[in-house]
Amino acid sequence: MRRSWLRWLLVPLVVVPLAWLLFTGLGRDPRVIPSPLVGKPMPAFAGVTLEGDQFSSASLAGRPAIVNFWASYCIPSCVDEHPVLLDLAARHGAQLRMVGILVSDTPAGARGFLARYGEVSWPTLLNADGRATIDYGVTGPPETFFIDASGIVVAHHVGPLTPEVVAAELAALGIAP
């Protein structure tokens, strides 16, 4: 008799938390991954670009910036977002700075991607040691960080950028879409 009473006591203790976890977790958009960097200074990074030049995040200071993590193997997502990035640079390149950072990719792979889908006007950091990927908490390409002129991360987007996402994040940076 005593075991029966204990069993009825344990059932709600197990079922209620499990039900709450399922209820709150299943209602979330899996593409929305909160970043602990939002509202904080962007992590510093430095290294060699695809063109062989030195590049540092310090050169982004003073203007809003977009830091885009991508890879040549990231198909179709990086392919889908590439024209959005090209359009963004063409329309707003004078108002903001852009930098691409490779995620576990080779220079040859990146060059092939750019030759096929369109050359970019912004630097692409090789990120050979993966340090920038780790510091930004990137789980996989593409991921984009929107940085204000004072170097604070304003937003983080996981997945391919769309014109709608870009318009919303530019407004958050104070740039008219």
CA angle 131, 79, 54 (to 5 degrees): 35
pLDDT of 18: 67
Please tell me the distance from the alpha carbon of residue 163 to that of residue 155, in angstroms, as a whole number: 15
Q: Beta strands 97-102 and 65-70: pairing type? A: parallel
Token pair 């059932």 in the structure block, residue: 11
Residues ≥6 apart with Cβ < 8 Å to 165: 157
**Per-residue pLDDT in tens (0 to 9) along the chain, 177 residues:** 566 666 666 667 667 776 666 666 666 565 566 778 999 999 999 999 999 999 999 999 999 999 999 999 999 999 999 999 999 999 999 999 999 999 999 999 999 999 999 999 999 999 989 999 999 999 999 999 999 999 999 999 999 999 999 999 999 898 887
pLDDT of 22: 65
User: Does the bond joining 142 to the residue before it have cis omega, within 30 degrees of 0?
Assistant: yes
Secondary structure class of 129 (helix, strand, coil): coil
Token pair 């995040």 in the structure block, residue: 57
What's the 3-state SS for 41-68? Answer: ECCCCEEEECCCCEEEHHHHCCCCEEEE
Rounded to two decimals, the pTM is 0.82
Residues in the chain: 177
Please tell me the distance from the alpha carbon of residue 136 to that of residue 96, in angstroms, as a whole number: 20
Q: Beta strands 46-48 and 54-56: pairing type? A: antiparallel
**Residue 53 CB burial class (10 angstroms; 0-12, 13-18, ≥19):** exposed
